A and B are shown apart, each in its own frame.
Chain A
Amino acid sequence: MEFPFGYGLHLENYSASSGHYPQVPHEAVPSQLDNQYVADYHSACYSIPVQSVMTPSVGPSMLNTQQLYSGAPHPVESAGGLTQGAISSASYLHTSVPQSYSALSSHYSSSTSSSVASQGFSLSSGHYAMPTISSALYPNLSYPSMSVGSPYGQVFTSQSLPAVGQFKETNTFPNQSSAVPRTLQQQITLGYNSTSWSTSDFQSAQDNFSRNNTGSLAKASSQINTVGILDSLHPVSQNVQFTNPGVETSVVSSAVTSSIRTPVGDHLTEPASVPSSTQPSESLLQEAIDSSSTTSSASPVINNYDALEGGGYPETNSATSSPAPTPQTSRMPKPFGYGYPTLQPGYQNATPSTSAMQPSNPGHHSGFQQYPQQYPGVNQLSSTLGGLSLQHSQQPESLRPVNLTQERNILPVSPVLAPVPNLNSDLRKLNCSPDSFRCTLTNIPQTQALLNKAKLPLGLLLHPFRDLTQLPVITSSTIVRCRSCRTYINPFVSFIDQRRWKCNLCYRVNDVPEEFMYNPLTRSYGEPHKRPEVQNSTVEFIASSDYMLRPPQPAVYLFVLDVSHNAVEAGYLTIVCQSLLENLDKLPGDSRTRIGFITFDSTVHFYNLQEGLSQPQMLIVSDIDDVFLPTPDSLLVNLHESKELIKDLLSALPNMFINTRETHSALGPALQAAFKLMSPTGGRISVFQSQLPSLGAGLLHSREDPNQRSSTKVVQHLGPATDFYKKLALDCSGQQTAVDLFLLSSQYADLASLACMSKYSAGCIYYYPSFHHSHNPAQAEKLQKDLKRYLTRKIGFEAVMRIRCTKGLSIHTFHGNFFVRSTDLLSLANINPDAGFAVQMSIEESLTDTSLVCFQTALLYTSSKGERRIRVHTLCLPVVTSLSDVYAGADVQAAVCLLANMAVDRSVSSSLSDARDALVNAVVDSLSAYISTASNLQQSTLIAPNSLRLFPLYVLALLKQKAFRTGTSTRLDDRIYAMCQIKSQPLVHLMKMIHPNLYRIDRLTNEGAIHVNDRVVPQPPLQKLSAEKLTREGAFLMDCGSIFYIWIGKSCDNSFIKDVLGYPNYASVPQKLTQLPELDTLSSERARSFITWLRDSRPLNPVLQVIRDESPAKTDFFQHLVEDRTEAAFSYYEFLLHIQQQICK
């Protein structure tokens, strides 16, 4: 009878901890309740420890939820062990729910024997090559004897936690560690548990349904339960956030972590086998206890959110709860001793930002300032964690005044990260990834007046259709949404009770549908808050027919190719046809995919590719004033049925027009024909154009005056010359057709007018200035690689995107390529993963009655497989009332990107100089507003809060950007293209365009290198963009987003030139070098792996250009050195002085 004894021990711990409660503000009442129960009901005493045993095991089940379909099968495999292996491997992301339902239920019946659990575990551990740390823990825990599910789970969490250590906060550790001693005791009580197995399983099933009856007991224990559940949530969501970024999954700082991290995701899901076995063990005790523990797991969330709504800060809960187990930690430090030291390097390196996050709370809420003193245990713990230096709190850091004129090295050595919203840790970890969803102010000002005072733009930067490696996909017959504002249920809603939830956008109370009560992943009933929808801020729903206006369209691709003399001469046809041939099978689509081709010069040519023909049939329509479709049915053909004909055509096309003398281009009529062809289905039109359209509708005239290219005065013709393309785009958009434009011209082609066809039909624009297949091989290579990406990337059809936000906020303006259908609805004929959007927001009503605001974007689209899907992102941000908090939360990169978007609008609607002035004023206004708030600062110096210290630099870079620069010779098309890019690029890529990254690459070392796919990628520090950083002895790499420059100094080390470039000395390096040879030297390997790593981080392949110091191309390089003075523009220091002058005025 050691069992009760074991629990008694914990009881002691808990009563000790409850003694702590009253010290913490906000939590007095619950703790009283708690004490009362301890006194009154003996059973309650039991329930407390049981919960804490339970909680970790809930943790894993949450993990499971997070992982969703990638993870769901694993528990099945590990628990069910023998039967379900196949499913786990097969159903990666897309397993439909019914499948996993059945899998789970079958597991349910088979998991009665305790041996299965342990066996399952060993199975899965083999699977995932468990990190060494956890195996170090195994010996003293001897798994086979661990028949009881819950300890099993605990041990697991305590192991996996160190692995996830980066994300864990200190105060959660004590709680987890408290689990460990318990498990040790549980081992001793072995026999007892194993006998109980068979009966308990049955009981637990009953329990599942009797939970709702629990009543008061649940309430009482909920406080304690918060400890475990809320905390055990943390590793989960963080983990997912880290794995989500997809491309960046592998960005890990040391070998140790990288080897651990990847398993962690899967590894954490394994314990999901546990919950099933947990229930039996609890149900051994009393039904009441059991149910209380399970129900109460719902209530913490309620408490948490009630606190939010009431204006109090949610930290209270987790904070109160976390200190409770602290004494235990100090008593039981042992189990951690093994895991920790090994992990620390990774811990420190991988997440510098997370370690900085946590302390923001003390800084922000006075209530918390005494907290470290009150609970020395936490402090001790943090000191034992070493690397987690908690001393720098984010709040003061981002507000630290920086004297801009005196700070010489303003640019950090590592890339700038997005600021983390000052939320409590649970919400923060549930929050949407900054890569998909970013706000310019991570602290939302309460009123418009406050926002006006801060003089910062408020807006969102979206990248909604980003490629994600892990995305929870939910199939459910009812998608739970708010009945009044139609918001999708999300992690930031509050559950009032089991049956009702409160919308976080409009505050309406909604019913939880019956179906939502059942969680298919944990196989449990009555836990709506654990559904994946409520655990992930980025989810994708498979929509039912309610979300369709018509049956989902097939993927339809139409290529409209310019075959006039100019185009043939440039030789793009070969590249396009070749890329198409290569990627024909990789075009996203299903068996219904259709494809068609139109070529045009002064006439429009159609190609009949109907199945059964022996060869493609060309049909010429010369009546360009009234274009008609010669054979409407056979021009767009099924890709699979007519594949041979298509291949024939593609191989024949490049040579068909080789001797053409036709110089005219009838783009307008060709587009009209394309629209007619596409309008029954919708889809994507890809237009390749090489010159100014000169015939038929939509003909354009050259508007550029080359002598005005470097004018400092007025830049004209930024707007379209005709509305033909806009109207066409709107018609296309109405028929769910997007037009993508590839402009490959060597001369002025009036992109300002042509771009309209893509802008308003949600297409994308690619521009290859002075394209020629042989004279300009770099562009040819770029086209080829861009095409590969373009043809194979994901695509969504007939999409709409709606952005909802908390009552009080409203959308002011959208930026991007789309058509605005209503004040919050964008119509996107196509959506591609490279499209970014920006939204300006305004505060219409003051947000006094809420402490959090949420933004939700819902993107409804038809996938290339003909499924209707909804991708939902939800972002949650705190509301602040003081100006300094607004500044503290400013996200300078997002703000600059939004300003750039606004400036593009301004330069088109007003003038370029207006836009430039507006940009400068944005800096001047915000900095002077900041200086006037910080009254203690000297008025004469130029001070910026740390969060905005890069603001002047970025704005200066923006002023020197092709889109906005004056004085430097800029071709009109280049300028317009830069503007189009600003409007449609997602933030990450836009930032590189505005402010390129400069690295020195002739001395790459492995110091601080990261490991990606077994490759060592050196991480050289960022250099500021100034010629003073360039030394003649060095070689520098500049990453401008779409192009890489490598600049070689005159007296660059010969060994670098030899080892990396493959030439004997500096003089022999050719003028046009666009590739690094694969040499078998260490420095070459390092340079190449670094460049490959940079390349992999973006969708479009950048061109590499090696520039010698005296080559004529060096101006291209030097124009990006934004901190230097040019003839027409300020240097950075001069710019600062200019701002200072403006402020003092």
Chain B
Amino acid sequence: NIFKFVQFKFLLCSYLITFDELKTDYKNPIDQCNTLNPTVEKVKKIKRVKIALKLVLPEYLIHAFFCVMFLCAAEWLTLGLNMPLLAYHIWRYMSRPVMSGPGLYDPTTIMNADILAYCQKEGWCKLAFYLLSFFYYLYGMIYVLVSS
């Protein structure tokens, strides 16, 4: 199950790229938010970035899924490391702006410098975290393989 993290990392990368693009580029934030918010029909419209997976919700779901896996495997330490992020994700989703569909980002406020900067920073921090945990899981996996 650990191999899946490779994909996971890619996902995060693309996620970050999008926000970077938003700041430097003139992409319409409606499209942007539609990409990040999972509205299926709009996802097709993405032209510039090929990886269509860069959605916030899948990221949250995958992360939650891993947490559940760790729970099942009784990997308490790893689970403990991941809990803060899980809690953050839940908080983040609870305090999202008013919207009818699922999603996290509001196209009318995303261009506010504070919010944009926050999202970018969030992206970088998460990338670092996922990268570190990826290597940690890799180490864990090899260790298990070798020792068995």
The listed residue (B26, B28, B98, B112) touching A719 by CB distance below 8 A is B98
The listed residue (B25, B27, B108) touching A820 by CB distance below 8 A is B108
Give the residues in chain B near A810, CB-CB below 8 Å: 113
Chain A residues 772 to 823 lying within 8 A of chain B, measured CB to CB, are 810-814, 819-823
Interface size on A, residues (CB 8 A): 24
State whether B98 touches A823 (Cβ < 8 A).
Answer: no
State whether B98 touches A825 (Cβ < 8 A).
Answer: no
B58 interface hit (Cβ, 8 Å): no
Q: How far is the CA of A722 from the CA of B108 in the complex (A)?
A: 14
Q: When each residue 93-137 of chain B gets 1 if its CB lies under 8 Å from chain A and 0 otherwise, what string results?
A: 000011110000001100111101000000000000000000000
**What is the CB-to-nearest-CB distance from A669 to chain B, in angstroms, rounded to a whole number?**
16
Task: Tell whether A823 pairs with B23 under 8 Å between CB atoms, given A723-B100, A811-B113, A813-B113.
Answer: yes
Q: When each residue 721-762 of chain A gets 1 if its CB lies under 8 Å from chain B and 0 otherwise, what string results?
A: 111101100100010000000000000000000000000100
Chain B residues 75 to 105 lying within 8 A of chain A, measured CB to CB, are 97-100
Give the residues in chain A near B98, CB-CB below 8 Å: 719-723
Q: When each residue 831-868 of chain A gets 1 if its CB lies under 8 Å from chain B and 0 otherwise, what string results?
A: 00000000010100000000000000000000000000
**What is the CB-to-nearest-CB distance from B85 to chain A, in angstroms, rounded to a whole number?**
24
Give the residues in chain A near B26, CB-CB below 8 Å: 821-822, 825
B30 interface hit (Cβ, 8 Å): yes
Cβ-closest chain B residue relative to A760: B108
Q: How far is the CA of A823 from the CA of B21 in the complex (A)?
A: 11
Q: How far is the CA of A720 from the CA of B108 in the complex (A)?
A: 13
Most chain A beta-carbon neighbours within 10 Å: one of B23, B113, B114:
B113
Give the residues in chain B near A842, CB-CB below 8 Å: 113
**What is the CB-to-nearest-CB distance from A829 to chain B, in angstroms, rounded to a whole number?**
13
Task: Tell whether A821 pairs with B29 under 8 Å between CB atoms, given A722-B98, A724-B100, A727-B100.
Answer: yes
Interface residues on B, range: 10 to 19
Most chain A beta-carbon neighbours within 10 Å: one of B97, B107, B108, B114:
B108
Give the residues in chain A near B27, CB-CB below 8 Å: 822
The listed residue (A724, A730, A813) touching B112 by CB distance below 8 A is A813
State whether A812 touches B113 (Cβ < 8 A).
Answer: yes
**What is the CB-to-nearest-CB distance from A119 to chain B, in angstroms, rounded to a whole number?**
57
Task: Tell whether A823 pairs with B113 under 8 Å between CB atoms, given A730-B107, A734-B30.
Answer: yes
Give the residues in chain B near A840, CB-CB below 8 Å: 113
Give the residues in chain A near B97, CB-CB below 8 Å: 723
The listed residue (B29, B100, B113, B114) touching A822 by CB distance below 8 A is B29
Task: Tell whether A723 pairs with B114 under 8 Å between CB atoms, given A821-B26, A821-B28, A825-B26.
Answer: no
Q: How far is the CA of A734 from the CA of B97 in the complex (A)?
A: 21
Give the residues in chain A near B113, CB-CB below 8 Å: 810-813, 823, 840, 842
Give the residues in chain A near B114, CB-CB below 8 Å: 812-813
Chain A residues 672 to 731 lying within 8 A of chain B, measured CB to CB, are 719-724, 726-727, 730
State whether A726 touches B108 (Cβ < 8 A).
Answer: yes
State whether A820 touches B30 (Cβ < 8 A).
Answer: no
State whether B28 touches A722 (Cβ < 8 A).
Answer: no
Give the residues in chain A near B28, CB-CB below 8 Å: 821-822
Cβ-closest chain A residue relative to B30: A730
Q: How far is the CA of A722 from the CA of B101 in the complex (A)?
A: 11
Cβ-closest chain A residue relative to B28: A821
Give the residues in chain B near A727, CB-CB below 8 Å: 100
**What is the CB-to-nearest-CB distance from B94 to chain A, in angstroms, rounded to a whole number?**
15
State whether A723 touches B99 (Cβ < 8 A).
Answer: yes
Q: How far is the CA of A577 from the CA of B9 in the complex (A)?
A: 62
Q: How far is the CA of A726 from the CA of B27 in the complex (A)?
A: 20
**What is the CB-to-nearest-CB distance from B109 to chain A, in angstroms, rounded to a whole number?**
8
Q: How far is the CA of A852 from the CA of B12 in the complex (A)?
A: 42
Give the residues in chain A near B23, CB-CB below 8 Å: 823
Give the residues in chain B near A813, CB-CB below 8 Å: 112-114
**What is the CB-to-nearest-CB distance from B116 to chain A, in angstroms, rounded to a whole number?**
8
Cβ-closest chain A residue relative to B113: A812
Give the residues in chain B near A812, CB-CB below 8 Å: 112-114
State whether A820 touches B100 (Cβ < 8 A).
Answer: no
Q: When each residue 261-276 of chain A gets 1 if its CB lies under 8 Å from chain B and 0 otherwise, what string results?
A: 0000000000000000
**What is the CB-to-nearest-CB distance from B120 to chain A, in angstroms, rounded to a whole number?**
12
State whether A819 touches B108 (Cβ < 8 A).
Answer: yes
Chain A residues close to B by CB (< 8 Å): 719-724, 726-727, 730, 734, 760, 810-814, 819-823, 825, 840, 842
27 contacts between A and B (CB under 8 A): A720-B98, A721-B98, A722-B98, A723-B100, A724-B100, A726-B108, A730-B30, A730-B108, A760-B108, A811-B113, A812-B114, A813-B112, A814-B111, A819-B30, A819-B107, A820-B108, A820-B111, A821-B26, A821-B111, A822-B26, A822-B28, A822-B111, A823-B113, A823-B116, A825-B26, A840-B113, A842-B113
- Extra pairs beyond A822-B26, A823-B111 (19, CB < 8 Å): A720-B98, A722-B98, A726-B108, A730-B107, A811-B113, A812-B113, A813-B114, A814-B111, A819-B30, A819-B107, A819-B108, A820-B29, A821-B26, A821-B111, A822-B27, A822-B111, A825-B26, A840-B113, A842-B113
